[in-house]
Amino acid sequence: MRDSGEWFLGDYAQRRWVRWLARRGNLLLPTHALQDNAPGTKAPMLLAEGGLLVAPDVLCIGAKATNWHEVKAKSAPNWHRNSARWEHGIDCANFEEYAEIQARTGWRVEMVLHEEQSPTDEQACSALLPSDVWLWAPLDAVRDAGEHRPAWPGGAADPTRRGRRGKGGWLWPRAVMRRIDVDAEPQVGMF
Rounded Cα distance, 7 and 72, in Å: 10
Rounded Cα distance, 100 and 57, in Å: 15
- Any idea what the Cα angle at residue 86 is, between residues 120 and 165, rounded to 5°? 140
- Average pLDDT of each block of 10 consecutive residues along the chain (191 residues)? 70 92 94 74 81 91 94 95 95 94 96 96 95 96 96 72 81 97 63 44
pTM value is 0.88
| pLDDT score for 117 | 96
| pLDDT score for 191 | 44
Residues 6 or more apart in contact with residue 152 via CB below 8 angstroms: 89, 162, 163, 168, 169, 171
Reduced to 3 states, what is the DSSP secondary structure of residue 165? helix
Provide the CA 53 distance to its chain's centre, in angstroms.
Answer: 16
| pLDDT score for 187 | 52
Rounded Cα distance, 93 and 78, in Å: 20
| pLDDT score for 34 | 79
Strand partners, 68: 59, 109
Strand partners, 80: 85
The domains located in the chain, with CATH, are: 5-180 (3.40.1350.10)
